[in-house]
Amino acid sequence: MRRSISLAVATLCISLAAPAGTSPIAAENPLRISLVLPSRATIANSVFVAAQVSGDVIGVQFSLDGASLGEPVSNPPFRVNFDTTRGSNGRHVLGAIARDTSGNTVRSEAVTVDVANRLEWFSAFTPLRQLFVSSTGTGTGESSSSPMSLSAAVATARPGDLYWLLGGTYGVGHLILTRAGTETEPIAYRAVSGERVTIDGTVTVNAADNWIWGLEISGQHAAGNDGIELRAAGARAINNVIHDVAGNGIGAWNLGARQVIYGNVLYGGVETPLEQRGHLVYTQNDFRAYGYKYFIGNTFVDPPQRACNLAVDSRSGAVTSASACFAFQAYTEGNLVTGMHL
């Protein structure tokens, strides 16, 4: 007896698909991404976040703590600027996602960094002596009822002194500070809180670590000098109001490290007379020699008009032409303007 056996042949089809929620995998030119910058675990200020990629990459989206960091970058170099000062100190997580021409995406390994910003323009000041000054003072300065004169304060100042200036108008002409403080023990001249202290004249800081703080400077009687002129390391102009000076409002020159210009209000008027012919700020700096020069939170209003670059008739002395001044003038002739922290 014969038996007939029939064999059925089936074709097994296997479909290789990416798991749900992920992109297909490109086999021939695999997509890869890794973060190569920042290279240090502790960062501050502004740094680049950069990625190294392979594959047909058409875009990289960087991330900070899971949120987008900047706009997608579509062309090499694949990097974005990370300004750490806009966020908080502490631990943060950086990442990046690359996308190729086929729609595939791949995520880099996360990189953890510690942001440790120090406000370079801020330093605590614990005075060693506190003395009082008035426009008519003749006393020892040991109390507000026995204030000393400003000229006496300037002549005897020593590191760590804080001079409280009482309200009034001080006719100083051109006041020049020549006694130096130190980085940790500056000499500070500060208006008493809530009192209007007007300097009828100008102030030039020729010695290190002197701070001018909370004063009104109106120096139209000291022709040609800047309202506050910083010519030494560690010199600071803090929360002053400067106007109607016969030079620049603030001159911050290439003559010392650690200069800080913070919270000042400067104005010159729309039709300031020609003899009051300065920019609100005039500055230079060599970063390689002195590091950053800090301009933080200053307010500029109405730079002097028709008061700069004067052309004068040699015979009559009459001004024949003039141009507008600037709120902020950084000038390079014979010098440098590198390392301005604005």
- Say which residues have a Cβ less than 8 Å from residue 262's Cβ, sequence separation at least 6: 121, 236, 237, 238, 239, 294, 295, 296, 297, 298
253 and 321, same domain (yes or no): yes
- Please give the model's pTM, rounded to 2 decimal places: 0.67
pLDDT, tens digit (0-9, with 9 covering 90-100), for 123-138: 888 999 999 999 999 9
Least confident of 31-45, 99-113, 241-255, 313-327: 313-327
How many domains does the structure of the chain reveal?
Answer: 2
Note whether 47 and 78 are within 8 A (CB): no
User: In the numeric block, which tokens belong to residue 43?
Assistant: 């960062």
Residue 195: closest CA among 171, 217, 172, 216: 216
Domain identity same for 103 and 151: no
191 and 64 in a common domain: no
- Which residues make beta-bridge pairs with 202? 174
Q: pLDDT above 90 covers what percent of the chain?
A: 58
**DSSP-derived pairing of the beta strands 111-115 and 90-100:** antiparallel
Q: Note whether 63 and 172 are same-domain residues.
A: no
Residue 144 β-bridge partners? none
pLDDT band at 341 (very low <50, low <70, confident <90, very high): confident
- Same domain as 139, residue 101: no
Q: What is the pLDDT of residue 124?
A: 81
CA 169 to chain CA mean position, Å: 32
Average pLDDT of the segment spanning 305-313: 71
Helix (H/G/I), strand (E/B), else coil: 156: helix
What lies within 8 Å, CB to CB, of 195 at 6+ separation is 165, 166, 167
Rounded CA separation 124/273 (Å)? 40
**In sequence order, which residues have a C-beta less than 8 Å from that of residue 207 and are 6 or more positions away?**
177, 178, 179, 180, 181, 232
Same structural domain, 235 and 193: yes
Domain end, chosen from 87, 115, 143, is at 115
- Residues 53, 145, single domain; the answer is no
- Same domain (yes/no): 76, 198: no
Residues 87 and 233 both lie in one domain: no
The enclosing domain of 56 has a CATH number of 2.60.40.10
Pairing of strands 319-323, 210-213: unpaired
By CB atoms closer than 10 A (0-12, 13-18, 19+), residue 235 is buried
DSSP 337: B
Q: What is the reported pLDDT for 221?
A: 58
State how far the Cα of 234 lies from the Cα of 176, in Å rounded to an integer. Answer: 16
Asked if 210 and 230 touch (Cβ cutoff 8 Å), the reply is no
State whether 210 and 91 are in the same domain. Answer: no
Domain that holds residue 57: 32-115
**pLDDT per position as a tens digit, 93-115:** 999 999 999 999 999 999 999 99
Q: What is the pLDDT of residues 152-169, one digit of tens each?
A: 999 999 999 999 999 999
216-to-168, 204, 228, 249 alpha-carbon distances in Å: 10, 15, 10, 11
In a domain, 135, yes or no: yes
- Residue 161 · residue 187 · CB < 8 Å: yes
Between the alpha carbon of residue 206 and those of residues 154, 210, 282, 300, 340, the distances in Å are: 12, 9, 17, 25, 21
- How crowded is residue 24: how many other Cβ atoms within 10 Å of its Cβ? 11
- Find the mean pLDDT for residues 224-251: 91
Query: 22-32 pLDDT, tens per residue?
Result: 455 444 678 99
Cα distances from 1 to residues 4, 5, 6, 7, in angstroms, run 10, 13, 16, 19
Phi/psi-derived region of residue 317, left when phi > 0, alpha when psi is between -120 and 50, beta in every other case:
left
Averaged confidence pLDDT in the chain: 86
Q: Specify the higher pLDDT residue, 285 or 221.
A: 285
**Residue 1 belongs to some domain of the structure:** no
Strand, coil or helix: 333: coil
